[in-house]
Amino acid sequence: MYAFEVVFDHLPLFLTGLRNTLLLLVLSAIFSFVLAVPLALVVTRRVPVATPIIETVSYVFRGTPLIVQVYLLYYGLAQFAFIRASVLWPWLREAWTCLLIAFTFGTCAYLIQILRGAIEAVPHGEVEAARAVGMTPFQTLRIVVLPNAFRRALPNFENELIFLLHATAIASLVTVIDLVGAGRNFNTIYYFTYEGFAIAGLLYLAIVGILRLSFALLEKRLLVHLRRAGI
Amino acid sequence: MNVLADFLPIVLRGMLVTVALSLGAMVLATLIGLVAAWGRLGGPRAVRGIVLAYTVLVRGMPPLVLMLLIYFGGQTAINAAADAMALDPVQIDPFTAGVVSIGIIFGAYLTETFRGAYLAIPQGEIEAGIAFGMPAATLARVVILPPLMRLALPGYWNIWLTLVKSCALVSVIGLQDAVYAALSIGRSTREPFTFMLVVMALYLAYTGLSDLAFRGLGKRLARGTRVVRV
């Protein structure tokens, strides 16, 4: 196919797209994780007022399309004069900021649920053992509960990361040149109809492959103790 | 507030498109998922390979990319086919394109759901059915389908919610759904936040209602089974 011959003339375009896609993926993943761990702890403790608020907000994020959240921020915020006048406006009007905020909160909403399940699945005997050897509550959390919960949640983290990667394609709809954006520009240069999207699709496939492989290796190392013998 | 009252009907009409689209796509995805899971489990080697390639390819790419690929690639393929047969090319309408592309995408996810559910049915039940001399159709209807529906429900429910939310992407292939309506009304009335918030509320209501429906369905399907409480 002609498109696959000329694609090598446009490597910088696709590399820019790849860089932006990966940047969105990695930054949103880190932000949402850092945010989700304390919030999940609050949810598992059933703190009055705080837990219902976190649950409700997380439900709203999980129940609405990410693209609507992005549009709400990117096109919607300009409706309010006080936001346009605020010191944050130079950042808030950038597509990157809106995307990172939406991706972070959208992923965080799911991570809270995953982490809550994983934390509640930690055997209570392990917590009691930690107490019995004299660990403080914080030590119990840091040495026993969280490492255990993170390991159990690995397969869910993997799925969530792949969903996040899929979600980053929305960036191309608000002016960011991610992989899809690069594919679209490529189409425009040659009057192609779909070839650029096919190349973008293959690159996404490659990223997913690498992610799955890395998680398989990680799980093999970290979940040794959960594997059943003899099967 | 007047502006909102004036334009709300247009957004609501857009939401009807979204509802119709999601239902149509889910029906198609279910059919694809059932057939593909069947092929993956019991088909000849070639069929199993094709189904595996389909699920891996589709689940590895963002729904947005697949939608663009199926819409533009599909139109190109139709044009080429029409050319070859010396016919006038048919223009795919965005609604059909939306149903077909979302159906193909989520059919791949449902294939895995149905396959997992089938594998979770105790093999003895199926063997007992065969031992009774049940014809394949009876076996499927009486022995396999009831537990399959119950076991597949949690996955099916999840994928339905993801499908509904993916329907918000269809404005990129030119379908005039609620998101499209809110964007254009928001631009002309200079109240984009208001209208996008309305769309958000509508989606929340839709996913909330479907949660209720699935919860009821789950109770129905679980009749006659014991709930294990740890």
Asked if residues B208 and B164 have their Cβ atoms less than 8 Å apart, the reply is: no
Give A122-125 contacts, CB < 8 A, sequence gap 24+: A122/A148, A122/A149, A122/A152
Structural domain boundaries in chain B: 2-221
pLDDT in tens, A7-39: 888 889 999 999 999 999 999 999 999 999 999
pLDDT above 70: residue A227: no
Give CA separation, A167 vs B1, B50, B53, in Å: 33, 26, 22
Chain B residue with minimal CA distance to A71? B196
Distance CA B214, CA B164 (A): 14
pLDDT in tens, A138-188: 999 999 999 999 998 998 999 999 999 999 999 999 989 999 999 999 998
Which stretches in chain B have pLDDT values below 70? 1, 227-230
Amino acid in position B77: A
Q: Which residue among B61, B72, B194 places its CB closest to the CB of A204?
A: B61
Distance CA A83, CA A97 (A): 14
A140-A141-A145-A151 Cα dihedral, nearest 10 degrees = -130
Residues in chain A closer than 8 A to B168 (CB atoms): 65, 67-68
Residue with structure tokens 């990157």?
Answer: A96
| Model pLDDT, residue A228 | 62
pLDDT above 80: residue A193: yes
Residue with structure tokens 């159709």?
Answer: B137
Distance CA B8, CA B153 (A): 35
CB atoms within 10 A of CB A53: 11
Is B188 in CB contact (< 8 Å) with chain A? no
The C-alpha of B8 sits at a distance from chain A's nearest C-alpha, in angstroms, of: 17
Mean pLDDT of A84-94: 84
For residues A25 and A219, the model is more confident at A25
Residue with structure tokens 């989700």?
Answer: A36
Of 1.10.260.40, 3.30.70.920, 1.10.3720.10, 1.10.10.10, the CATH number of B2-221 is 1.10.3720.10
Task: Give pTM, 2 decimals.
Answer: 0.90
The C-alpha of B68 sits at a distance from chain A's nearest C-alpha, in angstroms, of: 7
Distance CA B104, CA A74 (A): 30
**Average model confidence (pLDDT) for chain A?**
91
Residues in chain A closer than 8 A to B196 (CB atoms): 68, 71-72, 75-76
Q: Between chains, do B61 and A71 touch, taking CB under 8 Å as contact? A: no
Residues of chain A contacting B, Cβ within 8 Å: 60, 62-69, 71-72, 75-80, 165-170, 172-173, 179-180, 183, 193-194, 197-198, 200-201, 204-205, 208-209
| Model pLDDT, residue A231 | 45
Asked if residues B207 and A63 have their Cβ atoms less than 8 Å apart, the reply is: yes
ipTM over the 0.85 cut-off: yes
Interface probe for B, chosen from A194, A199, A208 (most Cβ of B below 10 Å), is: A194
Asked if residues A182 and A14 have their Cβ atoms less than 8 Å apart, the reply is: yes
Asked if residues B169 and B105 have their Cβ atoms less than 8 Å apart, the reply is: no
pLDDT in tens, B149-184: 999 999 999 999 999 999 999 988 889 999 999 999
Mean pLDDT of A39-64: 93
* Phi, psi of B155, deg, nearest 5: -65, -40
Q: In chain A, what are the domains?
A: 2-224 (1.10.3720.10)
Residue B84 CB contacts under 8 Å (≥ 6 apart), including other chains: none
Give CA separation, A70 vs A16, A100, B10, B97, B200, in Å: 22, 9, 21, 24, 11
